[in-house]
Amino acid sequence: MDEIHKNILQRNRSNLVKDLDPSKLYDGLLEKGIFTQDMIDEIQSAGTRRNQARQLVQDLETRGSRAFPLFLQCLQETGQESLAELLQNGAPAVTLQPATPTQVVRPVIQPLPFMDGNKPGKDVEKLEIPSSSPPGGGKPGPGRGYKMDASPCGYCLIINNMEFEPHSMLKNRKGSNIDCEKLERRFKTLNFVVEVRTNLRQKQIKHELLTLSKKDHSQYDCCVVIMLSHGTEVNHNRFPGAVYGVDGQYVPVQHITNYLNGQHCPSLQGKPKLFFIQACGGDERDMGFEVSPDEVEPSSGGMDDQTDAIPMSSSSDSLSMSDEPDARPTLPTPSDILVSYSTFPGYVSWRETQSGSWYVQTLDCILEENAATVDLVTMLMMVNNEVSQNSAKGLYKQMPGSFNFLRKLLYFRTQT
């Protein structure tokens, strides 16, 4: 930062500490590249609003020549114009130079594979492999698929929260250990280095993600993060939902993805980053709608089905719950990211205490049967289809889904 701008900040520090609302600025500071997610987390850990404001101003002075004018923009965009005017008084006019462009290699866009809905049979077993799948398995043609032949392929981090602290008011998640064991075994067969962490608090979840982001992934082709926990619905810009630590404090899915995006983890740039979220996206319970008998095959869950939703309030029918608002960080570099959710945003996710969650059971089976020949997005569509046919307590339904920012087809390399 230029000395004249540093002096302006230092001269007005007391007013900034007194009146600045840092919580309104974090989205813009992250979006404009002034701070990284790690730096924002560090500022938030300073404690009170005044302490956060003081830390933010100190850190701002270290963030280069563009930081001051971009900070003024953030103040104006968040309704803190009086502070922006205060800093502009006596300051020379600022011309914001564009950021130095970086060379971008644009992918070749291929048409999406499709299936003929008029063909008889719509159950999972009769889904056809798209024509983009290479004959006999193996890698797709040049430019059509991600490189996935490194050995090992990459890291797979599984965070399995089963036993929650009493003050969190969250129930223990019986059956989650079954999910964890299945996924650990499955991703080892897919040639990943699997690391399992159990019963983590919010800050411990962030620490594990930060540690993963700081690893050198240059020799690997992919990275996988799996979250098994309670969840809730939060405000968002791109990726909905949040995952709870065992202390009852949550981490938004959007924050989870930010740790590994192209900006914060350079050694994963251009490589697929996969996130699998087994947690509720909210508290609504889907009772489905009527279809013709040949549309689905009847399937029922057990009477001990549980959800991973968090009740935030009570009502007369005990099904009404509420969500909590959260900050709205943005994702500066969303390419090559796929987030697979066990349930549609806003709805509960069902788990059987004896056999694990519907989503993980189905995902594991689909991967086992199809990973050698079918691309990931098609397999997740198979998961959606099969899970949608289940019924909890003979009444409730579940619909998984994905937010897909992959640029190419992804085929796992299976071990023989």
Round to whole Å and give the CA distance between 236 and 185.
Answer: 33
Q: Which of 74, 222, 265, 280 is catalytic?
A: 280
- pLDDT value for 140: 61
- pLDDT value for 374: 96
**Average pLDDT of the chain to the nearest whole number:** 76
Round to whole Å and give the CA distance between 321 and 315.
Answer: 8
Asked which of 144-158, 161-175, 286-300, 396-410 is least confident by mean pLDDT, the reply is: 286-300
Residue 126 has pLDDT above 50, yes or no: no
Residue 175 has pLDDT above 70, yes or no: yes
279 neighbors 230 (Cβ within 8 angstroms):
yes
Residue range 130-138: mean pLDDT, rounded: 46
Structure token pair of residue 232: 């809730």
Where b means 16+ CB within 10 Å and e means fewer, 284-317 reads bbbeeeeeeeeebeeeebeeebbbbbbbeeeeee
Pairing of strands 401-404, 346-347: unpaired
pLDDT digits (tens, 9 = 90+) for 13-63: 888 999 999 999 988 888 888 888 878 888 887 788 988 988 898 888 888
Give SS3 for 365: helix
- pLDDT value for 345: 59
- pLDDT value for 99: 43
pLDDT digits (tens, 9 = 90+) for 347-376: 555 556 666 787 898 999 999 999 999 999
Round to whole Å and give the CA distance between 213 and 215.
Answer: 6
- pLDDT value for 293: 41
- pLDDT value for 243: 92
Whether domain 3-88 has CATH 1.10.533.10: the reply is: yes
Residue range 231-249: mean pLDDT, rounded: 85
280 in active site: yes
Residue range 272-300: mean pLDDT, rounded: 55
Residue range 198-203: mean pLDDT, rounded: 96
Q: Which residue has the higher pLDDT, 346 or 363?
A: 363
Round to whole Å and give the CA distance between 261 and 272.
Answer: 10
CA distances from 343 to 142, 228, 375, 402, 407 (A): 34, 13, 21, 9, 23
Residue 129 has pLDDT above 60, yes or no: no
- pLDDT value for 7: 87
Residue range 180-205: mean pLDDT, rounded: 96
- pLDDT value for 397: 62
β-bridge partners, 318: none
Residue by residue, what is the 3-state secondary structure of 129-161? CCCCCCCCCCCCCCCCECCCCCCCCEEEEEEEC
State pTM to two decimals: 0.59
Residue range 279-295: mean pLDDT, rounded: 42
Question: In the CATH hierarchy, which top-level class contains the domain 124-404?
Answer: alpha beta
CATH 3.40.50.1460 intervals, the chain:
124-404
Q: Which of 230, 236, 255, 264 is catalytic?
A: 230
74 in active site: no
Top-ranked range on mean pLDDT: pick from 136-150, 236-250, 262-276, 304-318: 262-276
Site of tokens 């008084």:
89
CATH 1.10.533.10 intervals, the chain:
3-88
- pLDDT value for 142: 54
What residues have CB less than 8 Å from 85, skipping those under 6 apart? none
